[in-house]
Amino acid sequence: MGEQRTANVSRRTFLKHTAIVGGALVAGGLAYRQVHNHLGRNFQPAGAKAYLDSIQPSPKPEMLPNILIILVDDLGYGDLDSPALDTPNLERMASQGVCLTSFYATASVCTPSRAGLLTGRYPVRSLMTTPLLSTRDAMNLVMDVLGRYSYGVTGIPQDEVLLSEVLLRRGYRTGLVGKWHLGAKPGHLPNDRGFESFYGALWSNDDQPYALYRDREIAVEAPADQDVLTLNFTRAAQEFMQSHKDEPFFLYLAHAMPHIPIHASGDFRGQSVAGLYGDAVQELDWSVGQILDTLDRLGLAGKTLTIFSSDNGPWWQGNPGYARGRKLLTFEGGFRVPFIATWRGVIPPGTNTSEMSMNFDLFPTCLQLAGVPLPQDRIIDGKDIMPVLTRKSASPHDTLLFYDTRKLVALRHLHWKYYRRYTTDNAAFWPLRQGPFLFDLHTDPNESYSLIESTPELAAELAALLAASDVKMSTNLRGWL
């Protein structure tokens, strides 16, 4: 009896000590992460303020071109050419402008890609490396415990300079219609970051509660009817253009579709042979037609740079252009996205180019058009691609980098794509790492045949280039100069 009591006491003592030690380790780990997060953020808001304060309104606002960016969510590179989809308005847009066939998002997932587009920088620099979630989403706790938010940042940092902020100070009327996904706390809202008007959602459409905002107030209570999202966003965009037809404007139309859950309005549901996904894409095509028609009706097609693209490759459905990979993967299917640009009288109609570029190139391109110099206190990774769009020069890039959250996984150098050893798209072995791989995108755009063994010298050179890029980024992550 005494031996059993002693054993029970010993067991309780062991469990108590284990709990104490475990609690201490957890507390210590959390404390270390808080210190790491605080020291690693390296915020420098003074530089952003000084730069934005230096921008003067254009002395000739009538000479400023309008800038209209239509960004859809999770559309595949191959969806525009799919025989299962009917997209006459996108075909019309392509016939009126230029298609870039080697255009990439800065990430293969929503938030980072949008951060790259609006800042002109790789998303790791803005610490936007994973999708942000609603503050009421239980996954937020999991993300926080796992440390998935870079340095604990859950909104686009205020020391980042956004395209909307620059153009607003230059004299543009600025509007966002659709999906924001760069923060929902004061200081990180669209109206805090250069958008005079906002109508749309703060999160992805699979995040709850899904409400629609007009500026800072809820306009449509959750759950918003997603069947009419594309319709309503299109109408809001048309109203914005109508209201500012006599002023230079920057309109960022960020559609929610065809991200899951997929929706389409009654006029389009059941109209596609590609199911509900096809219905949603064909309604997006209708939306593009409405935007183009509005520009024509208002007489603005000759003074508006209009761009159509996607934030990343397709997820569960959609055509990645018969390329390898999808959303969340670093292969071509996750990063390569459709891109069409039109500007009547400026961009030659009906042209294609395989010159490579990334969505962070839109920031310096738009600043050049607005006559605004780039910030000098930070690295801007993007380059002005207006000469590429007008077929006057080759790509300004020799090398582009491809990240999975904070991890540099691959690079494209000229027509070569090199991947370090990493997890891949093989579902049966997804926890295991494979590679490294080397692909020649000229002869093998689908990344089917690795040339690691047959061209070891080139593979070694690109491995060294990737490693050097990794070190350079890690030693100056935020890119301050």
Active-site residue list: 110, 181
- Residue 422, judged by CB atoms within 10 A of its CB (0-12, 13-18, 19+), counts as middle
Nearest to 148 by CA among 158, 140, 137, 156: 140
Q: How far apart, in whole angstroms, are the C-alpha atoms of residue 199 and residue 238?
A: 12
Phi, then psi, of 34 in degrees rounded to 5 = -65, -45
Q: Contact at 8 Å (CB) between 175 and 252?
A: yes
Paired tokens of 368 = 């050049």
Cβ within 8 Å of residue 326, ≥6 positions away: 313, 314, 315, 318, 320, 333, 334, 425
Distance CA 268, CA 283 (A): 6
Strand, coil or helix: 64: coil
Strand ranges inside 165-290, DSSP E: 173-179, 197-201, 212-214, 217-220, 249-254
DSSP string, 71-132: EESS--GGGGG-TT---HHHHHHHHHSEEETTEE-SSSSHHHHHHHHHHSS-HHHHT--S--
Record the tokens describing residue 333, joined without a space: 């299917």
What is the DSSP secondary-structure string of 357-402?
Answer: EEGGGHHHHHHHHHT-PPPSSB-------HHHHTTSS--S-SEEEE
Burial class of 325 by CB neighbour count within 10 A (0 to 12, 13 to 18, 19+): buried
398 C-beta neighbours (distance < 10 Å), count: 10
